[in-house]
A and B are shown apart, each in its own frame.
Chain A
Amino acid sequence: MFSWKNLLSPAMRRPRAEYEDSMVELHGINLVYPNGYQALYDVELLVRKGEFVFLVGTTGSGKSSLLKLLYREQAPKNGSVYVDNHDVGELRRSEVPSLRRKVGVIFQDFRLLREKTAWENVAYALEVTGARRREIPRKVAQVLELVGLLSKRKRMPGQLSGGEQQRVAIARALVNEPRLLLADEPTGNLDPDSSWDIMQILSRVNAGGTTVMVATHDQQIVDTMRKRVIVMRQGRITEDLERGNYTVAQRATQVV
């Protein structure tokens, strides 16, 4: 059927996010993996700019799956995904790289380039954006300084401890000054001291205005930091608590 809307460019035709100050908006999300397994059911979520959010829930509840939607590792079967007011669900393959440069991601297994030094790993994230050559050293030094690893910049990942590798990964995620920082169990492989180091860095980044979402099983960290806690269970969001507390949150879901 004819519609005036079709005359507009695809970007203008896209529906807009509902909230002006939203960083992440999910509406009616169902995620089905290629093998037919449904990992998310009717997920609704609003995260505003500048928030710090914990994502908790038992293993297999869908935390990683939810984060994958935000950096377009997965596309939803239906529903809409907005990141910083961009419709991520509608992105073409060729548009995915530019999304990933605006969203920093950190993983439990660090995912550094094994054949590059700490410095080169961070610089790579800048180089892919076509950043000006002269700006790269300054920016790389700045983020490595922020995570306290400037002195070990020439080490290969294999010559760094787990906590140090994770700090390199954070530096890499931050070097493009992302508006959104996603962390999927960033402390999963680390001892408590290193874990606190990492969380402190994330807090500082958040204080600088970056929205941060952290999926974690670390009860102590969640309970101590008293941030917003979103609880997932079997592919659904079951609780959403301001200044939440891991134990309370878990108990709440068990009652439901």
Chain B
Amino acid sequence: MGLAHYFLREVLVNVRRSPLMSVASVTTVMVLTMIVGFFLVLMANLSNLARDLASDLKVVAYLQADFNRDQLGELRSRVLKLPGVEGVSFVSREQAFEHLKKRMNNRIQLGDLTHNPLPDALEIRVRRAEDLEKVGHKVKGVGSIEKVRFGEDVARRMLALNRIVRTVGLVVLILLLVSTLLVVSNTIRLTVYARRRDIEVMQLVGAAGWFIRWPFLLEGILQGLVGAALAATVVSESYRLLVPQLLSSVSFLPVAAPESLLPWLCPGLLLLGALVGLLGSWISVNRFLKV
């Protein structure tokens, strides 16, 4: 449309005639979205770590010594029906013994053990770490089960930690977003302030509020996008460089893969930049518009 074209041209002319103002806004947006970006990378990794630790948590049900393996199928299906259970696998006492021997091989002489002291067991995976305790108690009532172990205190502590990390992360993120908006709108206000006389003149010659406002809003969106694009580049490139380094020194570290993290992080940062630029200019222009 002609009008959109006109507004865009206005923006480009403005940027060309006062480039320093744009540089200030773009830099501010860039620095702040970069901080948000690195923070999000950190949060994604923490939550990845928590999920990884939680996935190791399972309920182990030791079966009674006189358990008849013919009934395994029936027992398995009874356990599977419990709410929150994701899967069940049977670990025979022989497998468990082999596993134990392998793990202890170099430290203890197991050759002395003439018989296998271990019982048959079911390893029950739960859908969510929060369900661990509930499932653990339910499994006790299924029958043929001697003893249930599900590391209650470890699970509880980990869940608490997870909650704290998530809450603190959210609060910090909100604070970061609010201060981003404040700082950016302040910078943009300076650029709008420099043109406040022009805004008065525009009103004087009969420009409607939206006609004055739109070029400013577009300019804000554009500056926000450019700043955020720079920030996204810095964040994703440095993360791509960092991940192989981390993995080569601590190989089992459950880092969030760049390929799964960046495809939502980068568009998210761009959106944030555009939004902050838009809101920042909206707030600033309204201060000088008598509408």
Task: Using CB atoms and an 8 Å cutoff, list the residues of chain A in contact with chain B.
Answer: 71, 73, 93-94, 97-101, 105, 111-116, 124-125, 127-130, 133, 172, 176
In the complex, what's the smallest C-beta–C-beta distance from B205 to chain A, in angstroms?
4
10 contacts between A and B (CB under 8 A): A73-B204, A97-B207, A100-B204, A113-B198, A113-B201, A115-B198, A124-B202, A127-B6, A128-B202, A133-B2
In the complex, what's the smallest C-beta–C-beta distance from A84 to chain B, in angstroms?
15
Give the number of chain B interface residues (Cβ < 8 Å): 21
Residue B14 lies at the interface, judged by CB distance under 8 Å to chain A: yes
In the complex, what's the smallest C-beta–C-beta distance from B195 to chain A, in angstroms?
7
Taking CB atoms, residues of chain B closer than 8 Å to A100 are 203-206
Q: What separation, in Å, do the CA atoms of A113 and B10 have in the docked complex?
A: 13
Q: What separation, in Å, do the CA atoms of A129 and B207 have in the docked complex?
A: 7
Task: Using CB atoms and an 8 Å cutoff, list the residues of chain B in contact with chain A.
Answer: 2-3, 6, 13-14, 17-18, 195, 197-198, 200-208, 211, 291
Q: What secondary structure prevails in chain B residues at the interface with A?
A: helix
With A97-B203, A101-B205, A115-B195 already in contact, 8 other A-B pairs whose C-beta atoms are closer than 8 Å: A94-B208, A97-B208, A99-B206, A100-B206, A111-B197, A112-B201, A113-B201, A129-B206
Closest to B16 in A: A115
In the complex, what's the smallest C-beta–C-beta distance from B60 to chain A, in angstroms?
72
> Assuming A114-B198, A115-B18, A133-B2, is B206 touching A124 (CB within 8 A)?
no
Taking CB atoms, residues of chain B closer than 8 Å to A127 are 6
Q: Which of B195, B208, B291 meets A128, CB within 8 Å?
A: B208
> Assuming A93-B291, A105-B204, is B211 touching A128 (CB within 8 A)?
yes
Q: What separation, in Å, do the CA atoms of A71 and B203 have in the docked complex?
A: 11
Taking CB atoms, residues of chain B closer than 8 Å to A125 are 205-206
Q: What separation, in Å, do the CA atoms of A128 and B208 have in the docked complex?
A: 7
